[in-house]
Structure 1
Amino acid sequence: MTVPSTPDGAGARQEKRPWPRQVLLPLALAQFICSFAGSNMNVMIQDISEDLDTTVQGVQTAITIFLLVMAALMIPGGILTDRYGRKRCLVIGLAVYGVGALLSAVAPGLGVLILGNSILEGVGTALLIPPVYILTTLLFTNVADRARAFGAIMAMGGIGAAAGPLIGGLITSAISWRAAFVFQALVVAVIIVLTRRIDDPLPPNPGRVFDTGGAVLSATGLVLVVMGILAADDNVWLMSGLLLVGALLLVGFFRWIRAKERAGAQPLLRTDLFRNRTSNLGLITQHTQWLMLMGVSFVVAAYLQVVRGYNAIDTGVIFSASTLGLLVSSLGAARFAKKHEQRTLVMTGFAVTVCGIGLLLAMAHGEPKAWTSVPGLLLIGLGMGVMLTPSVNVVQSSFSEDQQGEISGLSRSVSNLGSSVGTAIAGTILVADPAVGPYAVALVVLAVIGFGGFAAAAKLPRAPAPAPTRQG
């Protein structure tokens, strides 16, 4: 779009705005570091538990709380982005995240680690991720450019999740697990510097009402549901109670937002976000993808360290297979999108990922060689790389610009909820008895969930629906 010149030089200033491709780097790096944080602790389980005098289950709890805080606060984070501005929330989120990483690096015990990593990094992520997706949608107006941009961001996110064990293992073995958090803080500092090149394409909307009641109901409901899953191996009654109360609060949340709409008030989420069939199916596939990725990552990492006795760097090197697979398939995402429908890519991704889990199962009972997990992890990486981008594009492109704040928050919340549920389900099965049997059971559960994701992908439309025009 050509910017008209003006006497006061405003047009000249706007002409200096970087081309969207130039601002893609900080956005992609922001997604990378958040995904990295969700998986790199998996290879530090033994080191952290010994150093902080805690248990494997304690470290699992810290990992799950981090993912859960992201999921619970992502929807409110999307609304705050609209209210206070996308770039401002991005920078504030990065700053909070950086403080949390530094606090984690000096944590004397599990409590401080949870405060720094699980709470502060989780809150920071919930503030910075919605702006990443909203800015990408607004800056890349061409459909093909937007697809490539989302491809780059999702590739960096997937690589962050897959490479987290390798990078974390190398840093932990060479220096200490604490240095891995210093690494995160340094990357965040670089991103903050790079964000100076980003101009917010839309002004903040200070009149945007923040639905505090809806935020409390949704966040509390999600937290209780996942905590109920975590309690499964300790107390069945506690698990049942948490799941029941959490489900009731989520039902109450939907009743709340419907009542707000009937009264003419602005709810946390508009119910019409859930009336788009294509978007709903895309959200299901996103949830399932991240559930499988983080679930497999935690289960395999815990199994290799606790059962087979591998150290952090050994575990990280083994996980480089999934990183390689994800990188290869992500680099081909643009070519795949030109030749195949999004529905086909998502279905293929699930099929390949389930086959990878099958290979992990087949090799679990053989000789305890380091390479036995590599073929399965490679296939899982390939499958994830194929389907992450089309799932996001299906959801984001189903809504107009004025709904991007809400759908971005909802989309990221659903994905991060999948990450936390995957870690909780798989970890609960394995932590109870980290042996070959529970390891196999956890993988079977994840494979069954993968079949559910494949079924949802099969119901996606054969051709992507055109994005609706901007309203209002």
Structure 2
Amino acid sequence: MINDISHDLDTTVQGVQITITVFLLVMAALMIPGGKLTDRYGRKRCFLVGLAVYGTGALLSAAAPGLGVLILGNSVLEGIGTALLIPPVYILTTLLFTDLTSRARAFGVIMAAGGIGAAAGPLIGGLITTAISWRAAFVFQALVIALIIVLSRTIADPVPPEPTRPFDVRGAVLSAGGLVLIVMGILAADDNIWLTLALLGAGCLVLAWFTHVIRSEERAGGEPLLSTSLFHNRASNLGLITQNIQWLLLMGTSFTVATYLQVVRDRDAIETGVIFTAATLGLLAASLTAERLAARRAQRTLIIAGFALTGAGIGVLIAMVGGSSSNWAFAPGLLLIGLGLGVMLTPSVNVVQSAFPESRQGEISGLSRSVSNLGSSFGTAIAGTILVAGLSDHAYLVAMGTLAFAALVGLGTALRMPRTAATPAASGPSATGLRPGT
């Protein structure tokens, strides 16, 4: 919908990029507080409230007269709604599926659905945009949300809420503020490098202050927004890094290739969406085999293989832009990227969620989703900023080259992961997930 929205609302491709990035940023900034709120108000209630807020944002976006209202509806309200509804999904899955194989199957289905949604969005949005309008695509979102709310009535929350559980408001504000400043700094890179450095520096200072606050809260015997003990598990730490890079690659590739096809090669929304079905098929095929793969291969092995496949796919996309004028030349690279991401998304989530017991699922789920969505923000911000600075073959190659480097970093991180990662017991020392050597 990039071209149609920019023309209809009298804005630019960069304006739409900012809308997308702010949406992802709001999710990343609020995912940790969203995960923590599930302990206090219950997983099902947060899920339903999140759906309602998201649906409201979709309807407001459909009626947007300008970019400002679109940002309010799509970026802010839909971002808040997503931050509330996503953590309960991962928490409930972890609580209801207790062994590695069954949990891999459940997360595989979730990853397949999420990955297909991300990859098939250009096709569905393109079809609705071309046949009706981009506004109808947002109405379609609201209708899907309404259906989910109806189907959610039978969901049972296995753990009762704790209304008296404290919530660290100061920590929530500091964590969100630090993340916002950092991504804003990346967005400003193509306009003012000094502003970028100032925003990045301010973001790091705010996050350092946040770290000091939560450590002080822990020493005082309180319950901070995020416990520092979550970072004492080596397998989980490396798993979080791979999650961040995986979503950076998915969203960065999606934004870069879609923008290039529509703006540089002048393809319409439907043609762009059809080409992206290659990535959708790859994600679907790999994600739906997650249970079988988890039973036969170590999680570490699957993550390594996923980054290798994704890196190869990016290499094909780089080679094809100058080697062929056919848009279908993008399909092999997108297929490899879809396969690679589908292979490793589930193992990365499984490694992180399985490293902690039931009592820590609210915290780790919020942290995990925040890290993933921050990766999505980085993907659109970094690749998008490079691309919109000069929409040409050269800018495309630089953007994809940056993503290729990120894939190599992800591969190096996966190679450092332990070959085995223990799942914490219900009680005892391992119940906290604190195993520095694992």
Instruction: Name the TM tier (shorter chain).
Output: over 0.9
Q: 1:82-126: CA deviations, max 9, x gaps?
A: 101110000000000000001111111100100000000000000
Q: Which amino acid in the other structure matches residue 65 of structure 1?
A: V
Q: Tell me the equivalent position of 1:267.
A: 224
1:395 Cα offset (Å): 0.2
Q: 1:299-335: CA deviations, max 9, x gaps?
A: 0001001100001001000111100111111122221
Aligned-residue CA RMSD (Å): 1.0
My pick for the range that moved more, 165-174 or 71-80, is: 165-174
The whole-number CA distance in structure 2 between the counterparts of 1:109 and 1:219 is 26
The whole-number CA distance in structure 2 between the counterparts of 1:142 and 1:301 is 39
My pick for the range that moved more, 367-376 or 107-116, is: 367-376
Secondary structure of the 2:85 match is helix
The whole-number CA distance in structure 1 between the counterparts of 2:312 and 2:232 is 33
Counterpart mapping for 1:324-343 below 5 A:
324-343=281-300
Secondary structure of the 1:365 match is helix
My pick for the range that moved more, 273-282 or 147-156, is: 147-156
Q: 1:400-427: CA deviations, max 9, x gaps?
A: 1000000000000000000001100000
Counterpart mapping for 1:15-164 below 5 A:
44-164=1-121
Contact 2:355 2:424 survives alignment (8 Å): yes
Q: Tell me the equivalent position of 1:311.
A: 268
The whole-number CA distance in structure 2 between the counterparts of 1:460 and 1:469 is 24
Q: Tell me the equivalent position of 1:301.
A: 258
**2:409 is equivalent to residue 444 of structure 1:** no
1:171 Cα offset (Å): 1.2
Runs of 4 or more, structure 1, over 3 Å off, are none
1:141 Cα offset (Å): 2.5
The whole-number CA distance in structure 2 between the counterparts of 1:243 and 1:265 is 30
Length-normalised TM-score, structure 1: 0.90
1:366 Cα offset (Å): 2.6
2:152 counterpart (188, 191, 195): 195
Q: Tell me the equivalent position of 1:25.
A: none
Length-normalised TM-score, structure 2: 0.97
The whole-number CA distance in structure 2 between the counterparts of 1:105 and 1:256 is 40
**2:391 is equivalent to residue 428 of structure 1:** no
1:357 counterpart (300, 314, 326): 314
Q: Tell me the equivalent position of 1:254.
A: 211
Q: 1:218-259: CA deviations, max 9, x gaps?
A: 000000000000000011111111010001101111111001
Contact 2:28 2:371 survives alignment (8 Å): yes
The whole-number CA distance in structure 1 between the counterparts of 2:77 and 2:336 is 34
The whole-number CA distance in structure 2 between the counterparts of 1:344 and 1:200 is 34
The whole-number CA distance in structure 2 between the counterparts of 1:332 and 1:282 is 20
The whole-number CA distance in structure 1 between the counterparts of 2:273 and 2:339 is 18
The whole-number CA distance in structure 2 between the counterparts of 1:78 and 1:376 is 35
The whole-number CA distance in structure 2 between the counterparts of 1:104 and 1:468 is 46
Q: 1:44-82: CA deviations, max 9, x gaps?
A: 111000000000000000000000000000000011111
Across the two proteins, how many residue pairs are aligned to each other? Answer: 429
1:277 counterpart (234, 237, 248): 234
My pick for the range that moved more, 175-184 or 380-389, is: 175-184
The whole-number CA distance in structure 2 between the counterparts of 1:173 and 1:138 is 42
What is the percentage of aligned positions where both structures have the same residue? Answer: 70
Contact 1:233 1:428 survives alignment (8 Å): yes
Q: Tell me the equivalent position of 2:334.
A: 377
